[in-house]
Amino acid sequence: MTDLSKFDQNGVSNPNNNIFGLPFSEEDAQLVILPVPWEVTVSYNAGTARAPEHVLRAALQVDLYDPDVMDAWKKGFFMREPDKKVLMKSDYLRKEAELYINYIAHDEKVEDNKFMCKSLKEINEGGIFLNNWVYQHTKDLLDQGKLVGLLGGDHSTSLGYFKAIAEKQGDFGILQIDAHCDLRKAYEGFKYSHASVMYNALEEIPQLKKLVQVGVREYCEEEWNYISNSEARVIPYFDKEIKERQYEGQTWKAIADEIIDRLPEKVFISFDIDGLDPKLCPHTGTPVQGGFETGQVFYLFKRLLLSGRKLIGFDLNEIGVSQDEWDENVGARCLFKLCNLLVAANN
């Protein structure tokens, strides 16, 4: 057990300690954060593969007092070091993907270019590798009785976790905060694209009974057709519709409770930070105008816990990196809130 008798929760964070300046080891922590430094298929801004190390540094500035969830940190949070081999593989395949995306953007035929055929094959094999890597590491932690939070990386990193938690928990639902649906099939030829993670989850995980998407403000016809044919397995709450309902007098509490009512007993939070207003995440992979304030999202999460539903895990993805570390600071505070909520829901 970690001795907290000499730990000053009100003092300056010790950079020699772990996430949020906490003095826990992985063995003693109830919650372990698994960083996944991967961004192979991002189709706009890169940088999120290095978000975990930046968030770790920014997290030293986070105060430990959370009036909504008192002293959850005392159960222990620990973040593993990002795996350098995974990061190196991501960097290599990212360069391949950039060349490939540029090639197809000019309407060139992939089958006419042996190099591009080879690149596409390697990138898709990389996606399979990453899914298996995340699945195995998450499964091992769950088997040890740990709560797990995943810190990306791009949104494709979550699929392996979804599979591991499905095996552990059985039927569940996902509450997705996102500017995008992520329901494209093999986007740009990449089967395990960041833009396809929820499509793949729905197609490959039968225990995933409900996907409730909140804050979506950009999607394509293919995704809308998939939603329309899902027989209410996918329920979107578009940013435009949420705002229009509020303009017409509905409260965020009423809308939030309606959202939560659509979810089953066990819920996984999948938080793409681009669901926020881009002033809070300007260097995220694919920023879109509109979106939430952090307080609105945190309130939704609070209502989820008050509903009596069980929070079984979370991911936090698409945090950008910047010279002023603004994205990382916002990301660190979102991470702290998610950690607190997950621990509170399981004690």
* pLDDT of 170 above 90: yes
Residue with tokens 């949420």, as numbered in its chain: 242
State the number of CA atoms in the 13 A half-sphere of 198 facing the CB.
32
Query: Domain containing 149 — which CATH number?
Result: 3.40.800.10
* pLDDT of 108 above 90: no
Residue 25 lies in a domain: yes
What pLDDT digit, counting tens, does each position of 205-241 carry? 999 999 999 999 999 999 999 999 999 999 999 999 9
Residue 4 lies in a domain: no
Q: How far apart are the first and last CA of the chain?
A: 17
**Backbone angles phi and psi of 317, in degrees to 5:** -130, 165
Residue 132 lies in a domain: yes
- List residues bridging with 218 in a β-sheet: 180
Residue 3 lies in a domain: no
Domains identified in the chain, total number: 1
Cβ 77 vs Cβ 33: under 8 Å: yes
- Angle at Cα 227 formed by Cα 221 and Cα 230, nearest 5°? 140
pLDDT for the residue 105: 86
Q: Residue-wise over 140-167: b if at least 16 C-beta within 10 A, else e?
A: ebbeeebbbbbbbbbbbbbbbbbbbbbe
Q: Is the dihedral of CA 111, 117, 123, 125 positive or negative?
A: positive
- CA dist 81 and 33 (Å) reads 9
Longest dimension (CA), the chain: 67
Tell if the pTM clears 0.85, that is, is over it.
yes
* pLDDT of 45 above 90: no
| Mean predicted lDDT score pLDDT of the chain | 96
- The residues, any chain, with a CB within 8 Å of residue 161's CB and separated by 6 or more, are 34, 134, 135, 138, 148, 150, 313, 315
Residue 14 lies in a domain: no
Residue 171 lies in a domain: yes
- The residues, any chain, with a CB within 8 Å of residue 275's CB and separated by 6 or more, are 177, 178, 179, 214, 215, 291, 292, 297
More confidently predicted of 177 and 104: 177
- CA dist 188 and 254 (Å) reads 39
Tokens (6 digits) for 33: 């954060």
What pLDDT digit, counting tens, does each position of 10-23 carry? 999 999 999 999 99
What pLDDT digit, counting tens, does each position of 172-201 carry? 999 999 999 999 998 889 999 999 999 999
* Residue range of the domain that includes 336: 19-345
